[in-house]
Amino acid sequence: MSAVAVNGWCPGALRPMLSGDGLVVRVRPHGGRLEAGQAAGIALLAARYGNGLIDVTSRANLQIRGVTDEAHRPLLEGLAQLGLLDSDPETEARRNILVTPFWNVGDDTCSLADELERALADSAPDLPAKFGFAIDDGKERALAAASADIRIERDRAGELIVRADGAKLGRSVRRGETERAVLALAEWFVASGGAKGGRGRMAAHIAAGAKLPEALRGDAEPAAVMATPHPGLYPHGAMVGVAFGQLPHSALDHLATCASALRMTPWRMILVEGMREMPDGADLITEADDPAQRVIACSGAPRCGGAHADTRALAAALAPHIAPDVRLHVSGCAKGCAHSGPAAITLVATPDGFDLVRGGSTRGTPALRGLSGAGLIKNPSVLMGGR
């Protein structure tokens, strides 16, 4: 093995994760945005040093897959040349920031992201690996359902607030004091015991009874939540879906030729900035009602060594039978890498067949056990409770 640190969770570029197809190297775009040159550069690096596949994650990051130990170092050098490498693994890990893709030039969004990045690099406390931040400062909240522990949002009157995830109300802040308010919340979380051996999350901490101090609490109601976005044209550009959250390098390279920049989202979709028509491409989802949008599946077999089944083949076969407003998650094991939260239907592969969980996550209690993939394809009504 190389001298790089290899961890079993939360991969970065400097601290990659070992998966069934090699090292997974995560790239965190600054402010959730890639210049076209950066996107093309990532596509080239994935082809040269990985197996050519790139994940689009629910944290709005990209992951270059199938990297060997020997290729990791030159890949890092390539990322550094693109301005996409942090100075050290700790700074990289803290830069866990989701940014709404629905911003306009002149909005506060980009500068808020930039200032928060610098504040976290300079003085953030030691936070759990999955602890994250959301900058969701549009008139409507786009990221309300996305995982984040501290949120910068707007209230009903359009003023900035900082809100702890799990708290109904947020604290009103002036433009210049936003990062300080975020850091104060993060420090309270750690000091009040929320970090719990490096695994705690804000909403669970508050649900367990932790009381925010008066100075951090606030009484501002956050703005309304916007409907979940779908592939299609938006005032900010063309939103394209990525089936199973994974692209061949050629598809990312193609998108890089369509616009000056790409904005990453937590919905396994990419906003092609400023584009006024949907891009073509066999590997892209461009129709809002494409059945592939209804299913989530992790890498599965044979791509992941921990998988008990070929998740994507089953998800693709079942997708046309899933109602448009229902989400099916097919996971190759209980780890749930592709989706940590609940879904209407979750299938978890085990050595004895699939467990079926309704309205829960991969760790939920199964309603049915030992289902065969072939049987589900033959009789998909079982998924919805039929016989």
User: Which residues lie near ligand SF4 (CB under 6 A)?
Assistant: 298-300, 304, 306-307, 331-333, 335-337
Tell me whether residue 178 or residue 311 sits nearer to ligand SF4 (CB atom). 311
Task: Report in angstroms how near the CB of residue 362 gets to ligand SF4 at its nearest.
Answer: 7
Tell me whether residue 6 or residue 110 sits nearer to ligand SF4 (CB atom). 6
Tell me whether residue 306 or residue 360 sits nearer to ligand SF4 (CB atom). 306
Say if CB 88 and CB 5 are below 8 A apart: no
- Tell me the sheet residues that pair with 53: 248
Give the nearest residue (CB) to ligand SF4. 332
Tell me whether residue 116 or residue 333 sits nearer to ligand SF4 (CB atom). 333
Helix (H, G, I), strand (E, B) or coil at 25: strand
Q: d(Cα 96, Cα 94) in Å, to the nearest integer?
A: 5
Tell me whether residue 65 or residue 263 sits nearer to ligand SF4 (CB atom). 65
Helix (H, G, I), strand (E, B) or coil at 203: helix
Q: Peptide bond preceding 248: is omega within 30 degrees of 0, i.e. cis?
A: no
Task: Report in angstroms how near the CB of residue 380 gets to ligand SF4 at its nearest.
Answer: 21
**Helix or strand holding residue 152 (H, E):** strand 150-154
Tell me whether residue 22 or residue 41 sits nearer to ligand SF4 (CB atom). 22
Of 328, 132, 140, the residue nearest 234 (C-alpha) = 140
Order of strands, sheet of 97-99, starting from the edge strand that comes earlier in the sequence: 97-99, 133-135, 150-154, 160-164, 171-172
CA 299: distance to chain centroid? 15
13 backbone dihedrals φ, ψ, rounded to 5°:
-80, -45
Task: Report in angstroms how near the CB of residue 335 gets to ligand SF4 at its nearest.
Answer: 4
Token representation of residue 24: 């997974």
Task: Report in angstroms how near the CB of residue 137 gets to ligand SF4 at its nearest.
Answer: 33
Task: Report in angstroms how near the CB of residue 19 gets to ligand SF4 at its nearest.
Answer: 7
Task: Report in angstroms how near the CB of residue 307 gets to ligand SF4 at its nearest.
Answer: 4
Tell me whether residue 147 or residue 331 sits nearer to ligand SF4 (CB atom). 331
Helices 249-256, 36-49: axis angle to 10 degrees equals 160
175 backbone dihedrals φ, ψ, rounded to 5°:
-55, -40
Token representation of residue 336: 């749930």
Helix (H, G, I), strand (E, B) or coil at 221: coil
Task: Report in angstroms how near the CB of residue 234 gets to ligand SF4 at its nearest.
Answer: 31
Tell me whether residue 34 or residue 298 sits nearer to ligand SF4 (CB atom). 298
Say if CB 135 and CB 99 are below 8 A apart: yes
Tell me whether residue 185 or residue 292 sits nearer to ligand SF4 (CB atom). 292
Say if CB 364 and CB 375 are below 8 A apart: no
Q: d(Cα 339, Cα 217) in Å, to the nearest integer?
A: 30
Say if CB 7 and CB 19 are below 8 A apart: no
Alpha-carbon distances, residue 381 vs 4, 322, 367, 368, 376 (angstroms): 47, 9, 14, 13, 8
Task: Report in angstroms how near the CB of residue 338 gets to ligand SF4 at its nearest.
Answer: 7
Task: Report in angstroms how near the CB of residue 331 gets to ligand SF4 at its nearest.
Answer: 5
